[in-house]
Every structure is written in structure tokens, then in C-alpha cells.
Chains A and B, each alone.
Chain A
């Protein structure tokens, strides 16, 4: 998994702070969110453990600040996170999608929808999310990051996708895998 990059667009928080960046050769490089008890790294220690051998970046929205462009290595997978409790996160994702290069949509983008265990808190309409997945030809993964079991399962799925997108799985390309996922979802 060396050299694989996963980029999380954590688009449900209002503030984001860069905690530490160890540079390209460092172990995990993460940007963490603040002031939010559902902040990603704190709630998902398991995910961090799994990700320490890969580079994991988080950002509140796109585009990324241009100052660090020369430092940023190649990105293999972009995961847009949508919190079903927050319509704002959906709007933010939709706005950020415009800044993603077209080539990423050939299997290197996925939508991660969290909070699905709480239907009573639902502010985002399911059809809107499914449409997003169809319009951008990218798989939509549903998870509940506040539940430990779901965290592990989600992390494993993302890791597997990342392996494929980084080209570490012989015989399977990112594009073929994402078409496979979409066909399964349609059934």
C-alpha cells in the first residue's frame, strides 16, 4: 500500500484546521477537523490505524489551496463525505465536485454517506444522493461512522477501493470496478 493516497473530502464541518503535516515521506498525513464531536479522526480511531500506512488527507471543501500544490503527491481516490443529517454537506459536495478533474470520475471518486442509521434525523433526500451517484458515475457507499462495526466495514471497503484505484490489484482497474459496483447497485 505504499504510495497510495486517499483523499477525504470531509464536507460536513464548518471549520477545519491543519494539525500537522509530515511531508511526503512521513507516515500518515492528516488534516483534522475541530470543534465537532463527530470529527472524523476522533470518532474513527480504527480507520486511522488502518490508514497509517497510507496517506490520508481531509479537506472541508474544494478547491484545495494552491500554495501546497507542489507538495501534494498524486491522489488515487477521492471520497466525498455527505452527512445525512446536514443538507449543508450535500450542498458543499455538489459545489466541490466542479473542482475535480474529469479523469477522476473514471472510478476514482466515491460518495460516502454517513448517518444512515438515523432515519429520524434525515435532512437529505435519498433520491438526491442517488442522483448524484448516477450523474457522476460514481459509487455511493452508505455507512454509519458513529457505530464501531460500521466504521471497520467502511474502512475495509475504502481500503479495497483504494488498492484498486492505485493499481495494486492485478486485472482490475478503477473503471471496471466502479462499473461493477454500479451494476450491482442497480439490481
Chain B
């Protein structure tokens, strides 16, 4: 994950993303594919870090101009157990932004699981759940993922999983995972410094599962820790960052095409344009644009996207830059502007 990097002044004409002090990971050839998946997860997580902060509108002396954007720090890479990150992959996650949690403690995770499970049972009693006619015994597990974080100062990620077992089946049968959600903080040092005492900063919440469970779990957290959840939308600017970052990842021959979906505004009939690019071509283009491996500047992202747009314009006479980028899909991951992402691999 991004190592703590000293904040650098924003450069005129562009923001340099990348720390000067943190360790830089060299692109080692021949990484085991399992570690590559962890890297993919890390890159995606770093893009989440941008999301959870959003782009402050106004003067850029806030966080965005000093994003450290480094790939895996060696320490996290050693500790990251591929088995444990496997839950991230091949699932569609809906993003929420969360305000800091009051009096949340990593030591009481079991208690939280118990309380949440009681809450869910109570909601079911009230008749507010969930699936009609299905009697499910819902078990809650809350665990901590210490390796999923942006820097050492960040809070460790917290994973909440709801699994069910039908009461008819035997006691030792497998429990089926029906819902998972995890909180994480990939913000780096700047955010953590400003958080007051008693507050835990876990600004990003990712959910996979039925909406009814999401609302129950969400309302329990809101009641218990006085926080609030809001759907997180991803702006086209951030989507183009993700496109550039994910294109730079090493992909194998069978990778799927890079696809960008645009929505054309102000037409009587809504029109979506889908632009698919061969992944090797996209990577070749990005490699000519990116100057320093391990660092990405806003200008490089702009040049990359402009090349794609002008190529499209040459063929179709349509200015994609006047449309809204709504979805980016690469071999590594995909992201939609409504705040839905999926890590493939």
C-alpha cells in the first residue's frame, strides 16, 4: 500500500502523485499471479483512497494535491495473505462514504458482531426483513484486516459478513455467505492527523449483497457509532484516473478489452457510446505516456485520455470530451460512476 510520503507542494500545471521518501516498488518481472492479484487489489484500493477523499472543490492546498500514490509497500506485501484478499475479487461492490465512527474499538469486534446479530434478529421479528417466507438463521462475523490500509497511520479495514444457514439443514453444514461489507481507510497520513480523539476514520464502505441487509447493517452502525452513510458517486475525472492506472498493470494475453462507456448529454433520446480498446494497445499507449514508473501525474492521464478521444474523433467525428464518462472497464477492475466497482482477476 502507499507508504507514508512527505507532502510535496503542488506543482504548477500539474499534480505530481508519488512520494519522495516512500519506497518505490520496482516492477519485478515474473511476479507470481497470486501476488499480481494482490497488486491489482492494492491498485484498486489506492484508487478508492482518492474516492474516499473526493476532490475538494476550491483551493488545492487540501489533500488531493499531495496524494501519495505508490504501489505496494514491501511490508504490506509480505503480510498480505492472498487467501484473505480473495474475498475482494470477482464481486461487485457498491461504494458508500462514511463519516468518522465515534468510540469504535478494534478490541470489541466480537461484541459488535453479537449486537449486530441481535439487531438483525429483532428487525426480523418486527417483520422488516428481508426475504418473505424464508426462515434464515443469520450469523454475523466482524473481523479486522490489518493489511488492507493505505499507510501505517490508517485504521485497519473492518470486514462484516453475514452468513446464513437454513434451520432445516444439519448443524455442521456449510454456512452460505449472503452479504459482506467492509470499511477501509486508504487516505494516508493527512486525513488521520486531523481526526479528533475518540473518532475512528474509516471513510469508505464497500458492500456486496442485498440492499435490505445493507440498510439494516447501515442503520445499526449509524445508531451505534453516530456516523452516516452516503452513496459515493465517482466523477469522470476520477474514472479517467482509474482507467490510466489500471491500464498500466501487467496483463496477460487473454485479458479482456478495455472499455469506456460515455453518456451523451442533452439529447432527447439517451445515447451511450461504448469505446473498446485492445488491452495491449492501451498499455502500449500508456507506456509511452508515463514517464516515471510508479508515479502518475494528472498531465499524463490527460494526455492518455486525449489520445483516445482524438483517435475516436478521427474516425467518428464525435468529441468524446464533451460527453460524460460513466464507466471504465479493464482486465483488472471496472468502475461505474454510480459508485459500483468490481475487481476482476
What number of residue pairs across chains A and B have CB atoms under 8 A from each other? 60
Asked if B57 contacts A123 (CB within 8 A), the reply is no
Docked-complex contact B322 and A120, CB < 8 angstroms: no
Q: Which of B1-9, B189-197, B231-239 contacts A (4 or more CB under 8 A)?
A: B231-239
Interface flags, A2-37, vs B, CB<8A=1, else 0? 000000000010100000000000000000000111
Given A14-B319, A85-B324, A119 and B235 touching (CB < 8 A)?
A: yes
Chain A proximity mask over B38-79: 1 for CB below 8 Å, otherwise 0: 000000000000000011011010000100000000000000
Using A120-B337, A122-B55, A125-B237 as known contacts, say yes or no to A89 and B266 having CB atoms under 8 A apart: no
Within 8 A of B (CB), among A101-151: 116, 119-127, 130-131
Q: Which of A12, A38, A89, A127 has the most CB of B within 10 A?
A: A127
Residues of A within 8 A of B14 (CB): 127
CB < 8 Å neighbour of B324 from A36, A89, A121, A131:
A121
**Complex Cα gap A13–B337 (Å):** 23
Tell me if A86 is interfacial: C-beta within 8 Å of chain B. yes
Q: How far is the CA of A186 from the CA of B240 in the complex (A)?
A: 29
Which of A87, A122, A126, A127 lies in contact with B321, CB distance below 8 A? A87
Residue B15 CB within 8 A of the other chain: yes
Residue from A35, A38, A119, A124 whose CB has the most chain B CB atoms within 10 Å: A119
A64 vs chain B, min Cβ distance (A): 21
Give CA–CA (A73, B48) in the complex, Å.
Answer: 53
Residues of B with C-beta under 8 A to A87:
321-322
Q: Is B325 an interface residue (CB 8 A)?
A: yes
Q: Closest CB-CB distance, B66 to chain A, in whole Å?
A: 13
**A131 x B13 contact (CB < 8 A):** yes
Whether a CB of chain B sits under 8 angstroms from the CB of A177 is no
Interface pair B322/A89, CB less than 8 Å apart: yes
| 0/1 string, A22-56, CB within 8 A of B gives 1 | 00000000000001111000000000000000000
The answer to whether A91 has its CB under 8 Å from any CB of chain B is: yes
Chain A residue at smallest Cβ distance from B318? A14
- How many angstroms from the CA of A169 to the CA of B13 in the assembled complex? 36
Does B10 interact with chain A (Cβ within 8 Å)?
yes
Contacts of B55 in A (CB 8 A): 119, 122, 126
Q: Are B322 and A88 in contact (CB under 8 A)?
A: yes
Q: Given A127-B15, A127-B298, A131-B12, are A119 and B321 also a contact pair (CB < 8 Å)? A: no
Q: Interface readout for A73-111 with B: 1 if CB under 8 Å, 0 if not?
A: 000000000000111110100000000000000000000
On whether A119 and B324 interact (CB within 8 A), knowing A127-B60, A127-B298, the answer reads no
CA distance A105 to B236 in the complex (A): 32
**Number of B residues whose C-beta is below 8 Å from A?**
28
The docked-state distance in angstroms from the alpha carbon of A126 to that of B14 is 10
Say whether B54 contacts A119, CB under 8 Å.
Answer: yes
Q: Among B14, B58, B65, B322, which residue has the most Cβ atoms of chain A within 10 A?
A: B322
Q: Is the CB of A121 within 8 A of B322?
A: no
Closest-CB distance, A181 to chain B (whole angstroms): 16
Given contacts A12-B322, A87-B321, A87-B322, contact A122 B236 (CB under 8 A): yes
Q: Which residues of B contact A14 (CB under 8 A)?
A: 319, 322
Q: How far is the CB of B89 from chain A (nearest CB, A)?
A: 27
> How far apart are the CA atoms of A122 and B54 in the complex, in Å?
11
Quick check: is B265 within 8 A (CB to CB) of the other chain?
yes
For A121, give its contact among B10, B236, B319 (CB under 8 Å): B236
C-alpha spacing A10/B12, complex, angstroms? 27
In this complex, what residue of A is CB-closest to B325?
A123
Could you say which residues of chain B place their CB within 8 Å of the CB of A122?
Answer: 55, 235-237
With the chains together, A87 CA to B310 CA distance in Å?
Answer: 13
Q: Check A123 against B12 for contact (C-beta < 8 Å).
A: no
Bound Cα distance from A88 to B309, whole angstroms: 10
B322 touches A86 (CB 8 A): yes
Min CB distance, B242 to chain A, in Å?
Answer: 14
> With A119-B55, A127-B13 given, can you name 9 additional A-B contacts, CB distance below 8 Å?
A35-B266, A85-B265, A120-B235, A120-B337, A122-B55, A126-B58, A127-B14, A127-B60, A127-B298
28 contacts between A and B (CB under 8 A): A14-B319, A35-B266, A37-B266, A38-B266, A85-B324, A86-B321, A86-B322, A86-B323, A87-B321, A88-B319, A89-B322, A119-B54, A119-B55, A120-B233, A120-B235, A121-B235, A122-B235, A122-B236, A123-B235, A123-B236, A123-B240, A123-B321, A125-B298, A126-B55, A127-B13, A127-B14, A127-B298, A131-B13
Which A-B residue pairs are the 4 nearest by beta carbons?
A: A88-B322, A87-B321, A88-B321, A120-B233
